[in-house]
């Protein structure tokens, strides 16, 4: 099993689309880092592509326990 999918099960995933505009900088960076996309803090500030959520789409709105902030 993909470790990021396992991690996503305990997160309160936001609805689509996962764009920077829809999520805001803080939530965008949190999802990008914790779900294995990339670390936005290590990239130039205008590189904020939409995050392809298809791997986690079945988990959106189905957190098994309250989301934790790391």
Partner 1 sequence: MAATPKNYNANQIVLGPCDVWVNTALPAASSRIVLASNGTPDDATNTNVIHLGLTEAGVTFEYTPEIQDFTSDELTAPHLSRLISESARITGNFLQVFNWSLLEKMTVGGTKNVDTNTSTGYEELTFGGLSTISTFPVALIGKDISGTDQYWVIHLYKTYNKAGFSFTVTRRDQSKAPFEFMGLAITSRAAGDQIGNFWHMGAANAA
Using CA atoms, how far apart are residues 64 and 62, in angstroms rounded to an integer?
Answer: 6
Task: Determine, following the binding rule CB under 8 A, whether residue 63 of this chain makes contact with partner 1.
Answer: no
Which CB atom, from 30 or from 56, has the smaller least distance to partner 1?
A: 56
The answer to whether residues 51 and 31 touch, using CB atoms and an 8 Å cutoff, is: yes
Which CB atom, from 21 or from 65, has the smaller least distance to partner 1?
A: 21
Using CA atoms, how far apart are residues 46 and 31, in angstroms rounded to an integer?
Answer: 17
Task: Determine, following the binding rule CB under 8 A, whether residue 12 of this chain makes contact with partner 1.
Answer: no
Binding site for partner 1 (CB under 8 A): 2, 4, 16-19, 33, 35-39, 42-44, 46-47, 49-57
């Amino acid at each position: 099993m993909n470790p990021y999918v396992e991690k996503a099960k305990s997160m309160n995933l936001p609805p689509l689309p996962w764009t920077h505009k829809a999520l805001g900088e803080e939530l965008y960076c949190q999802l990008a880092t914790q779900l294995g996309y990339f670390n936005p803090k290590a990239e130039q500030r205008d590189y904020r592509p939409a995050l392809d959520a298809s791997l986690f789409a079945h988990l959106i709105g189905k957190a098994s326990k309250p989301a934790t902030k790391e």
